[in-house]
Amino acid sequence: MDNYGNKLVFVGGMGAGKTTAIRAISDTEPVSTDMPLSTDATEEKSLTTVALDYSSVDLDEGELLHVYGVPGQKYLNFMWPMVCTGAIGIIVLVNACQNDAVDSTAELLRDFGELAPEASFVVGVTKSDLAPEFQLPVFRDALNASGYQVPVMKVDARVTTQVEFLIRTLLSYQHAGSQLNLATTGAR
């Protein structure tokens, strides 16, 4: 296996928790290309990724897992194909507070499904504690109705065990040979 054969990529909109999740599971300080936000800064978020985040995690079997995060802004999407080449898994993080969570998640699944057709996918919903109206079964059913049948779960990107569980779920699907399952609704 080549040196980067175990590659996972975190994707999602700005503020979904990609950098935070990578920091939560990293064995070493991640390489990060965060820059100050000029116009969209909030109390919660003052930095944004402009190229990528990178770190590695030692797996139980002694192998190295390479973990990347890509920028969520569309104008930086030129990074996506470079980072996704050879990825075995794509972790889509979505902020539960987003008004268009289903549509934006379906769009990410479609875009990254085209960039990494051999990869397995999982969706992690972050910040659900800040969105009391968010209902995971409704969200999951809406993704299924859009043609995307992937594991979907709530995750706190700050909590190592929750991010690790999300990764283990993805890796179990990857090991079972499950790529992005598209219903026959023509989601691609």
Write the pLDDT tens digit of every residue in 64-81. 888 999 887 777 778 788
**Which residue segment(s) compose the domain that 136 sits in?**
7-182
Q: Does any domain span residue 1?
A: no
- 149: helix, strand or coil: strand
For helices 101-115 and 136-145, the axis angle rounded to 10 degrees is 50
Count of the separate structural domains present in the chain: 1
Round the average pLDDT of the chain to a whole number and report it: 81
Q: Is 168 helix (H, G, I), strand (E, B) or coil?
A: helix
Where b means 16+ CB within 10 Å and e means fewer, 41-75 reads eeeeeeebbebbbbbbbeeeeeeebbbbbbbbeee
> What is the value of pTM for the model shown?
0.81
CATH code for the domain in which residue 54 is found: 3.40.50.300
Contacts of 82 by beta carbon, 8 Å cutoff, 6+ apart: none
Q: What is the pLDDT of residue 81?
A: 86
Q: Which of 166, 168, 164 is nearest to 176 (CA)?
A: 168
Q: Is 109 a domain residue?
A: yes
Asked if residue 55 has pLDDT above 50, the reply is yes
* 82 inside domain: yes
For residues 25 and 160, the answer to whether their CB atoms sit within 8 Å is yes
